[in-house]
């Protein structure tokens, strides 16, 4: 006679583990999703919608006079042309440089490769104010390369944008390149094609989806660059981004700033749409490569075997890129320690006593305030991002449910497509009256920074949860674990480590955030990046030295946060590839999984 099922087994175990039995369940998932969606509606959709309304709606209804006035000026079209031109130039230079770098660092294996990868992608995490100041000290009147005459020119801005983005482009192309099937190239060589012809006719066409995807991201980040353009370009080389700040903070022309913000949204939306299409092409190409035999098991493509032949083009370009990264930062550190009496710590000592207009307290207090605000912003971003990742990673059998989860995931990525300056402007014109008047609240800046960091957190946590095999959850359920216990024992360890990594990344992004904070900071909430910019506007070599010392401190805080993130990521060997450095950077850029 068959025996009855053991009483200690849960209902889900007796039925067999099914996707819809997973915690938090349909209603719990809906409640969990409501929290980040509400945050997005209040602190993103509402400010952006108000901003758009300010540009197109007047007291008597639809009013396009402001739009016609702004767009009818030759200056506006010069700003648009300059914005698109600098972004296009930076994208082209990064694409040309990234291809040989990607070949050297992702298709060949040698000692020091990991260190070179880390060095090339490190600038992407640096505060933009630090980068702008580093190039200012390098190319300015008293800098070692002042003879080039690049200060306050388009060339200085272009160098800073390439500094920021060449590592990102190389990683996007290299990660894709490492997953391609090499047999097509080998066949071309066997048939008599030279290396150059193989590169032009086989390799580069295969890399087109990755080049387009990475190019769209570089274009987006270059078109919305703020601090480097503000510091290095000046008024003669301003962009739409800096003009929004000028119209708002100095000219108080909110109508013109709103119109320009709408124009920028259109440019950003176009770049995002192109990037999404390119990413789909890249994913299809990788899938075809795996089906073709490069990765028949569905796992990671095998690492390249050690190859001690010298890739001269890659080595030369990589060396130049490493020099571009090390030179401005090394010069900044040196100049921060140079005083009238020689090399010393005088400028660093002044951080504890120097007070500047518009700042309550010293620069050291501003640094402590930046850390506190970034900790709060990181905590908010992690809490919301974990909720998003838990909901978006839930397995489902319904096609409509999968589409709804896709829309939900995409909605939380929306802040990635809006510049920080636009976010700050939106906060400025919406969160200044009842029922949500945060003008004098401590929470104003942390909420803005959390909004900027949220896509990063989601893209850092979500891949790890999605990489978990469903059979692990099913096995736990079959052994009698309730859905909530399955979540705690199977998903929990991955989620905790991923949240630690994401928290460190979110802190690093928040502590150096400048675009939104520049709009919102008051004397008692001024952060270190804003204080550095204020100090740069004051004449005197001593003020510049103290600003450089503050920039080095800010860079050190950011580097410490990134080191903690890397330590947390490296400790998760059981997490698989979901928390790998390539995917962590993909989270930073919104590349997805």
**Which of 528, 375, 398 minimizes the C-alpha distance to 450?**
375
Q: How many helices (H) and strands (E) does the chain have?
A: 27, 6
Q: Provide the token pair at 593.
A: 């999984």
Highest mean pLDDT out of 21-35, 154-168, 208-222, 337-351:
154-168
Give per-residue pLDDT as tens, 221-273. 888 888 888 888 877 788 888 888 888 777 778 788 888 888 887 887 777 77
Task: Reply yes or no on whether the pLDDT at 515 is more than 90.
Answer: no
Confidence band, pLDDT 50/70/90 cuts, at residue 184:
confident
Whole-model pTM: value is: 0.76
The pLDDT tens digits for 113-131 are 788 888 887 787 788 888 8
The pLDDT of residue 580: 38
Residues counted in the chain: 593
Least confident piece of the model among 88-92, 154-158, 354-358, 575-579: 575-579
Give all domains of the chain, ordered by start, each with its CATH number.
26-58+345-593 (1.10.3720.10), 69-298 (1.10.3720.10)
Contacts of residue 131, defined as CB under 8 A and 6 or more positions apart, other chains included, come to 123, 160, 163, 164, 227, 228, 328
Any idea which residue has 């770098």 for tokens? Answer: 101
Residue recorded with tokens 């909720």? 387
Peptide bond into 24 cis (omega under 30): yes
Which two tokens mark 51? 């901003």
- SS3 annotation, 214-246: HHHHHHHHHHCCCHHHHHHHCHHHCCHHHHHHH
**87 half-sphere exposure, CB direction, 13 A CA radius:** 27
**DSSP per position, 109-154:** B-TTHHHHHHHHHGGGGS-HHHHHHHHHHHHSTTSTTGGG--TTSH
């Amino acid at each position: 006679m068959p025996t009855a099922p053991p009483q200690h087994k849960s209902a889900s175990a007796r039925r067999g583990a099914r996707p819809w039995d997973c915690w938090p369940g349909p209603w719990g998932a809906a409640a969990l999703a409501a929290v980040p969606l509400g945050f997005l509606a209040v602190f993103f959709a509402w400010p952006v919608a108000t901003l758009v309304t300010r540009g197109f709606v007047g007291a008597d209804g639809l009013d396009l006079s402001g739009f016609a006035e702004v767009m009818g000026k030759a200056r506006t079209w010069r700003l648009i042309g300059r914005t698109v031109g600098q972004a296009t130039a930076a994208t082209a230079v990064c694409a040309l440089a990234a291809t040989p770098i990607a070949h050297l660092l992702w298709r060949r294996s040698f000692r020091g490769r990991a260190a070179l990868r880390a060095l090339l992608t490190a600038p992407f995490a640096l505060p933009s104010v630090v980068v702008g100041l580093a190039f200012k000290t390098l190319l300015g009147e008293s800098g070692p390369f002042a003879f080039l005459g690049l200060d306050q020119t388009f060339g200085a801005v272009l160098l800073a944008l390439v500094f920021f983005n060449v590592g990102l482009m190389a990683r996007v192309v290299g990660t894709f390149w490492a997953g391609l099937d090499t047999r097509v190239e080998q066949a071309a060589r066997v048939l008599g094609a030279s290396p150059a012809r193989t590169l032009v006719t086989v390799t580069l066409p295969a890399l087109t989806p990755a080049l387009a995807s990475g190019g769209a991201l570089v274009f987006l980040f270059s078109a919305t660059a703020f601090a480097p353009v503000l510091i290095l370009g000046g008024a003669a080389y301003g962009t739409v981004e800096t003009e929004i700040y000028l119209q708002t903070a100095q000219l108080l022309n909110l109508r013109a700033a709103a119109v320009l913000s709408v124009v920028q949204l259109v440019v950003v939306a176009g770049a995002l749409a192109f990037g999404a299409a390119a990413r789909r092409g890249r994913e299809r190409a990788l899938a075809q490569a795996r089906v073709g035999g490069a990765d028949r098991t569905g796992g990671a493509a095998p690492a390249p075997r050690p190859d001690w032949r010298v890739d001269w083009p890659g080595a030369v370009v990589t060396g130049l890129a490493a020099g571009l990264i090390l030179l401005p930062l090394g010069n900044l550190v040196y100049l921060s320690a140079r005083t009238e009496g020689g090399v010393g710590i005088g400028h660093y000592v002044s951080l504890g006593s120097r007070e500047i207009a518009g700042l309550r307290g010293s620069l050291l207090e501003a640094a402590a305030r930046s850390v506190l605000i970034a900790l709060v912003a990181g905590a908010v971003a992690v809490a919301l991002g974990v909720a998003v990742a838990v909901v978006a990673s839930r397995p489902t059998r319904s096609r409509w449910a999968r589409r709804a989860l896709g829309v939900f995931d995409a909605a939380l990525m929306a802040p990635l497509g809006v510049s920080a300056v636009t976010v700050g402007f939106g906060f400025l014109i919406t969160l200044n009256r009842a029922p949500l008047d945060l003008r004098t609240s401590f929470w104003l800046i942390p909420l803005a920074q959390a909004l900027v960091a949220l896509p990063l957190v989601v893209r850092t946590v979500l891949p790890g949860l999605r990489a978990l095999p469903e059979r692990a959850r099913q096995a736990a359920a079959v052994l009698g674990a309730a859905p909530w216990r399955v979540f705690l024992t199977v998903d929990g360890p991955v989620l905790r480590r991923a949240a630690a990594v994401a928290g460190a990344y979110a802190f690093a992004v928040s502590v150096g955030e400048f675009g939104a904070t520049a709009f919102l900071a008051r004397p008692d909430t001024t952060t270190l990046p804003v204080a550095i910019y204020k100090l740069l506007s004051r004449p005197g070599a001593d003020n510049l030295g103290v600003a450089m010392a503050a920039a080095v401190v800010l860079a050190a805080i950011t580097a410490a946060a990134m080191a903690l993130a890397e330590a947390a990521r490296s400790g998760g060997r059981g997490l698989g590839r979901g928390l790998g450095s390539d995917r962590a950077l993909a989270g930073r850029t919104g590349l997805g999984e």
